[in-house]
Each structure stands twice: as structure tokens, then as C-alpha cells.
Amino acid sequence: MTSEQRLPILLVDDDESILSTVEFLLTDEGYPVMVAANGSEALARAAAQTPCLILLDMKMPVMDGWAFAAAYRDSPGPHAPIIVMTAAHDSHQRAAEIAADDVIAKPFDVNHLLDLVRKYVA
């Protein structure tokens, strides 16, 4: 499978530096990546091209993680698994609220993030 044929990972975060750092990390590991700065943008990206995995921040302007998750699940499938990335104290609670597939608390170890991504993307 070439990189052209692989579905991208959708990375959603309103913090530009996190967005660019993680994008660099994933791209460097060979994953195609598309980025969005809020839920609304993310919905547009996902509609344009089906992602294989969504890394989702919760607290964002315009459309937050909760609204995105609800709208995304209402959109025609198939739906990619969602990993919540949050700086909230109770990260597991946040993840449970939108029935996410996994969760990683900010700040994270990049090796830990890569381990999680590998769990969902071949």
C-alpha cells in the first residue's frame, strides 16, 4: 500500500503549535495527515475525504469536540475511530461523554501518542 492510497489521519486542535508539531511527527512517521483548527473545519475535511482516524481536541472555538463528535456521527458513514486529546483534568470523563474510542491526556509523551495511533492505523 503506497502512501497515496492510505487514508489520512484527521488532526483537530485549535492550538497551532500543537497542530504543526503533531502533524510533523505523524508525517515524519509516514502517515498522511489533514489538519483542522476546529470542529467545523474538521467536518468539512472529513466530508471531503474519509479519514482513517481522528485525533480530537475538545475545547475549541467555533465548534468544540462535543459538537463535532455529535455532528460527525450523524453524517453518512463509514466513521473513523476517535482518540480524544485533552488537557482537562478528568480526561477519561471527557472521552466517555462522546463515546470516544481512546483518550490521551495532554501533555503527552510522543512515543505514547505513536503507540496509540499504531493501535488504530495499520
Partner 1 sequence: MTTTEPVNILMVDDQPAKLLTYEAILDDLGEHLIKATSGREALEHLLKTDIAIVLMDVSMPEIDGFELAEIIRQHPRYQKTAIIFISAVRLTELDRLKGYESGAVDYIPVPVIPEILRAKVSVFADLYRKTRQLEALNHDLEQRVEERTAEAQANVMRLRESEERIKVILQNTSAVIYLIDARGHCLQVNRGFEQVFGVTNDEARGQSIYALLPPETSAVWRASHQQVMAERVSNEFEEEIVSPEGIRTYTSIKTPLFDAAGKPSGIVSISTDITERKQAEDERAELLRREHDARLEAEEAIQIRDDFLSVAAHELKTPVTSLRATAQVIARKLQKGSQSAPQWLSDGLRVIDQQSERLTRLIGQLLDVSHLDREQRLGERAPTDLVAIAERLVAVFGARTTRHTLVFSGDERLVAAVDPVAIEQVLSNLIDNAIKYSPEGGRIDVEARLDDHEQVCLSVRDCGIGIPPEKRGDIFERFYQAHADDHRSGLGLGLFISRQIAELHGGSIRAEFPPDGGARFVVTLPVEASVAASIAPKTPA
C-alpha 32/C-alpha 50 separation (Å) is: 12
Beta bridge mates, 1: none
Let me know if 117 is exposed, middle or buried by CB neighbors in 10 A (0-12, 13-18, 19+).
buried
96 φ, ψ to 5°? -65, -35
Binding to partner 1 in span 69-98, by CB under 8 A: 87-89, 92-93, 95-96
C-alpha 55/C-alpha 107 separation (Å) is: 14
Cβ proximity to partner 1, 24 vs 44, nearer residue: 24
Residue 111 near partner 1 by CB under 8 A: yes
Q: Binding marks (x or -) toward partner 1, 33..62, rule CB under 8 A?
A: --------------------------x---
Extract the C-alpha cell encoding 47: 466530508
Residue 28 near partner 1 by CB under 8 A: yes
Interface residue list for partner 1 (CB under 8 A): 15, 17-18, 21-22, 24-25, 28, 59, 87-89, 92-93, 95-96, 100, 102-103, 106-111, 113
